[in-house]
Amino acid sequence: MPTAAIARLPSSPFRHRLSERAPAKINLSLAVLGRRADGYHELSSLVAFAGAGDRLTYEPEGAPGLDLVGPGATTLAVEPDNLVLKAARELATRVTGLRIGRFALDKRLPVASGIGGGSADAAAALRLLARANGLTPDDPRLYAAALATGSDVPVCLSGRSSWMGGRGETLSPVALPRFGLVLVNPRLPVATAAVFRALGLAPGEMRQPPQQPQDFSTRAEALAFLADAPNDLEPPARALEPSLGEVAEVLAGTPEVRLVRMSGSGATFFGLYDDCRAAARAAKAVIAARPDWWVKSTVLG
């Protein structure tokens, strides 16, 4: 793949032929089972996707590269190797003659926030390249390129609620009921590597994976399971950044909230509600309390 440059544009170029949503990935539960010999951590996570996310547009005939637009564009300006371009390169090494075009990323999710923004963007790029090059969604080369790009990219490529195992390579679809969802990020950086180190797992130490129900038919059923299936990375993340406790407390104080938890390695927390109206009311309360935080009301599932 030719060297591709990243540029920032003052406004979004909506003349592209193809577009894909890149929804936020939410780790509803996350069990860290141990450290593998290859250095990766073995995980078991219930993953779902939000109605909110980034949007990637694509011009198949454009010069290879990536333009950045939207509220989060400036936060990515220092990244010369955005995951969108990495995903395109990984696919190009596996598909002879792959047609590469130009992407424009409308960045709306906070960066490095535990909700898979970069991974979702990379997955959207792979779906766009598949459409432009006549690849079927189940082409194994897409999955291989996704895994080579990042551990969270395969589940984002599928875009379905799933059990995610291994370092991200094992996926099993699971049915989830719809929830109202509020996402809150305090605009604080929390380094993923530091959170895993703080977890303190010794090399070779392995835990038993939690039981994985096949499907959840009701919100009550899902909430009952999640009550006993936490995010193992939340305690070490809070220890590294004690102010994260305030995020959880503010969300927990909103009316009608059913569950409050951190997603991934942080620093985004989520609140689950029975419907989008309750989530919208809760988001207004959080914004009133902390207008400096990033807050988004949406749906899950």
Domain ranges of the chain: 15-173, 179-300
The partner residues of 298 in beta bridges, in order of sequence, read 181
Report the residue count for the chain.
301
pLDDT lower than 70: segments of the chain: 1-16, 73, 75-80
Say how far residue 261 (Cα) sits from the centre of its chain.
Answer: 15
Q: Which amino acid is at 219?
A: R
Helix (H) or strand (E) run with residue 30 in it:
strand 18-35
| Identified catalytic residue from 25, 86, 107, 296 | 25
pLDDT at 5: 45
CATH class of 179-300: alpha beta
pLDDT at 300: 97
Question: What tokens were used for 187?
Answer: 């605009």
Helix (H) or strand (E) run with residue 289 in it:
helix 276-289
Question: What tokens were used for 244?
Answer: 């994260």
Per-residue pLDDT tens digits for 47-106? 999 999 999 999 998 888 899 987 876 766 535 578 999 999 999 999 999 999 999 999
Q: Are 295 and 282 in contact (CB under 8 A)?
A: no
Say how far residue 26 (Cα) sits from the centre of its chain.
Answer: 6
DSSP category for residue 75: G
Q: Does domain 15-173 fall into CATH 3.30.230.10?
A: yes
- Which one, of 150, 116, 154, lies nearest residue 137 by Cα? 154
pLDDT at 80: 59
Whole-angstrom Cα distance, residue 81 to residue 121? 13
Q: Is 232 a catalytic residue?
A: no
Q: Are 25 and 114 in contact (CB under 8 A)?
A: no
Say how far residue 254 (Cα) sits from the centre of its chain.
Answer: 24
| Identified catalytic residue from 67, 121, 152, 232 | 152
pLDDT at 209: 82
Question: What tokens were used for 49?
Answer: 């996707």
Whole-angstrom Cα distance, residue 121 to residue 21? 8
- Give the gyration radius of the chain's Cα atoms: 19
Q: Which amino acid is at 224?
A: A
Quick count: other Cβ atoms within 10 Å of Cβ 139? 17
pLDDT at 37: 76
Whole-angstrom Cα distance, residue 24 to residue 264? 11
pTM, two decimal places: 0.90
